[in-house]
Each structure stands twice: as C-alpha cells, then as structure tokens.
A and B are shown apart, each in its own frame.
Chain A
C-alpha cells in the first residue's frame, strides 16, 4: 500500500481559537477489521476505544461497526446484551458508521439470507451481493461530498444495497448501486476504506460525531 496521506481533521490554524477536543470514537471489537479502523483513526489523531461490552459505550460520540462476519457479530449483539444498548446509543445522539458487515447490522432489512438487524438505517441490503471471494474486487467511486480524487474501493464478499428510503442520501455509487450512504448521524459503506490508506471517510465520520455531541 502507498504513502499515508496527511491527516485532514484537527487542523488548528495559527491565530484561530484553540480547536475543541476531538470527539470520542469507539470501534466495535467483537470480531473483524476493528484494529484496522482504529489504525485509520490514529492517523487522524484519534485514539479509538475498543468496545466489547455495553459499558464501554458510555461517553462515546461515535461508534464504528467494522467489516467481518455479520452473522457472528449479530450473535454477540443478541446474546451478550449489546443490541438494545446500541439502539439506545443511537437514540441518545451517538453517530454510527458501518462498513460491509457493519452496514448489514445497521440496515432496516437484510436479505440472502434474512437476518435480524438494528434497523437504524433505512436501507435494504443483500449479504454477499456480488457472490463469493472470487468475486471480491477493487475499484474507485466518485463522491462529490468528499471531492477529488475518487474514493478507492475494496470490496470483500461485499453486500449490495438494493433499496434506500426517502431520507437516505446516496454519497457514492458502485456498479449502479449505492455503496456509501448517509441518514442523519448514520453512515454506511459496502466497501472497506480501512483496507486502504485513504482516511477521508473516517474524517467525515469524525466530523459527524463531533456535530452530534
């Protein structure tokens, strides 16, 4: 992987008022690419909190649900009393960002096969929408919200967003389908920015979490 770009947040200009403390961000660390998300946040100057139990949500402004196996993470949410605390975190104003498996857990409806989900993002999503590992691929998608260059896109057994509700903004598309969406304080990508050196989506999420608090 190439050079790590300069951090794009927390940039107090000389002479301006000191910037406020950065928001507190957690990464759901039950399984999957949580350490890679924490590393991306570290490049932005943020030390993420690893969340394995509900008590760790206290005091956070935002939470990233990483890539991994959504069926595995869902079992933890249901059996270890994390499902309702995550919903409460959302209701209380916390920002959420899900990548791949994380997007599946945030969705209103999950298909292929159907499974339970938090339902805080008004999308319908198909698990393994492109197929198996041999259909995993890379690309780049344009995103006017985040500007040039295009966002690098790494899709690992990725899901496909097959429907979006009226309040959902589509920030980037891939192969004609939404790949990066936002509904208020909830973000989701079907791809994995944590597998690249581009931290713009993480920086965007940090801003949303800062506004949310």
Chain B
C-alpha cells in the first residue's frame, strides 16, 4: 500500500465504530457533534428532500461548507456528483477531510467516475455489490459504503447490499488461483484487486453502511451484518427529535451486540422519519442505480 493511500484509509480507520451524519448547516453540524458523531457530511439538502423536490442536486455551496467546517472539530465530509471532478477540486481546496462521490446527487458523468488517485483528499463511494466496490477501489476510493436507498427511511436495500458484498467476498475466497481471472471478468473489476481480496477474505479498505438508516436498531443491524460504521442521512433531521435520535444511533453503533443497551437507547426517541416502500417505487425514482 502506498504512503498516500495509507493516510487516506488511515482516516477511515479512525472513523470505525462511529456514526457519520448528514447535515445541511452549522446548527445541524453542532447537534451531530454534540451527539457524538465521528464526522458530519455536508450536503445542500438531505436525501429525503432531494427525493421530494426533484431537480438537479449538486455539491453544497462553499459558504455552507465553510460554515460547517468552522463550527465543528470533527472531520467534515462533503458530497460531489458522480464524475464531477471539479466539485471535488473545490472541496479539496477548501480543506474538506473526505469527499463522497455520491449517487444521491445528480450524476455529472454517466460513464465515468472521478479518478480518485489524482487527489490528496480521500474519497468514499457507494456500491451495491462486490464488483462496484472493487471498481471504485480501483479508481482510488479509500472507503466503501453501501448505497442502500438514500432518503427512503427503509433499511432493506442497505441490508441487501451488505449481504451481497459479504456473500461475493466469501465466494471469492474458495476459488483457486486459476479461476480468479474469470472471476475478475465477471465482477468487471481489476484483476490485482480481485486477487488481493480473494487472498485476504476482506476488502482492502473499510466498509461502512449507508442508505435508509432510521432507527438505532437499523444501525446495529448494519453493524452485525459486517459494516464497520454507519452513515445516517435523513434519518436524524427528518425525525421528530433529532438530538435524542442522533445520540441513540451513536450509542447503538458502539453497543451493537448488546441487546440490553439497544433497549435502553431505543426508548423515548419520538417518531422516526416516515419510510417508503421500495418495492412499490418506480425504477426511475431509485438513487442506487446511478453510477455502476
């Protein structure tokens, strides 16, 4: 692993066992930090609002990002559109700590993702399966997260993606060396990375969950399914009591195997965000199919 890449994955290592929360302004960022978030994700609207309002969703404005950076001491992430390397250049220049090349925003390039190796700032990317994860790592992502279905308040897609990645990882480990080139072809992923993953039985970068987390139980479910941290988008600030829910999700991520603690933190939280039934949603409204 190169020195530069070790610094990028090193920050992701420090965020393990934590909750990363979507925020749109300084006030929300402070609420997240006070609740114990390990990082905040700056974006112009939370995914549930992007879904409701439609239109083109872009990188948050530099003023908002500056305001959020100045209001908290924890690392600040921000989203850019898939393939929009100039939005990423702007975020790097502003000192953002991690860039999320995200399907939640409207893609800027329908063929190519950003060449993430050419940046000093680390990138996180979403994926639904092992092939997508390894392609993003091949492009230089230092952290992988599930796509789930952002803004849905429904955990079903994040669960599907976590199980899919775990299942495909385990399959790779039982292949013989001469079967790996064919596996790489099927995964549409770089052969060298496929070989490394088959040997180690795990991704070469941390793997977090995202997309549809609305309750402490959802967060603990993702952790028990192998996620190393949890991103929470609309789930906090679309609930009736963001402060309490944010705290509860932070605690659920740490105590994810402790049912007594999960009972305790799940009480007195008010109403979670309203969820969507993904099975009845039209295909074109899904965010997870963007950028494969």
Contacts and interface: CB of A to CB of B under 8 A. Distances in A.
Contacts of A31: 16-18, 38, 253-254
Nearest to A196: B6
Contact of A33 (B3, B13, B98, B120): B13
A35 interface: yes
Contacts of A88: none
Contact of A69 (B18, B35, B253): B18
A100 B98 CA distance: 19
A134 B92 contact: yes
A177 interface: no
With most chain B CB atoms within 10 A of its CB, the pick from A34, A68, A138, A156 is A156
Interface string A118-148: 0000000001100111101110000000000
Interface string A83-103: 000000000000000001100
Nearest to A68: B14
With most chain B CB atoms within 10 A of its CB, the pick from A75, A113, A133, A138 is A133
A137 B11 CA distance: 11
Interface in A19-35: 29-35
Contacts of A69: 14-15, 18, 38-39, 74-75
A33 B7 contact: no
A68 B16 contact: yes
Contact of B17 (A32, A128, A138, A156): A32
A101 B14 contact: yes
Interface in A42-60: 52
Interface size class of A (residues with CB under 8 A): 35 or more
A202 interface: no
A195 B95 contact: no
B89 interface: no
B14 A33 contact: yes
Contacts of B6: 1, 138, 154, 195
A193 B280 CA distance: 50
Contacts, number: 105
A133 B18 contact: no
Contacts of A157: 11, 14, 75, 97
A71 B35 CA distance: 10
B258 interface: yes
B64 interface: no
Contacts of B253: 31
Given A72-B38, A133-B75, A133-B121, A36 B95 contact: no
Nearest to B9: A195
A76 B17 contact: no
Interface in B40-88: 73-75
B36 interface: yes
A195 B13 contact: yes
B117 interface: no
A172 B23 CA distance: 40
B250 A132 contact: no
B16 A132 contact: no
A62 interface: no
Contacts of B38: 31, 68-69, 72
Given A71-B33, A72-B38, A157-B97, A35 B10 contact: no
Contacts of B95: 131-134
A72 B14 CA distance: 11
Contacts of A75: 35-36, 250
A35 B16 contact: yes
Interface of A: 1, 29-36, 52, 67-69, 71-72, 75-76, 80, 100-101, 112-113, 127-128, 131-134, 136-138, 154, 156-157, 192, 195
For the complex of A and B, the 7 pairs showing the least CB-CB separation, nearest first, are A133-B97, A31-B17, A75-B36, A69-B38, A156-B10, A72-B36, A132-B95
20 contacts: A30-B17, A31-B18, A32-B16, A34-B16, A52-B254, A68-B38, A69-B15, A69-B75, A76-B251, A76-B254, A112-B73, A131-B95, A133-B11, A133-B98, A134-B95, A134-B121, A136-B10, A154-B7, A156-B11, A157-B14
Given A69-B15, A127-B73, A156-B11, 12 more contacts: A32-B13, A32-B18, A34-B17, A68-B17, A68-B38, A69-B74, A71-B33, A72-B74, A75-B35, A132-B75, A157-B11, A192-B10
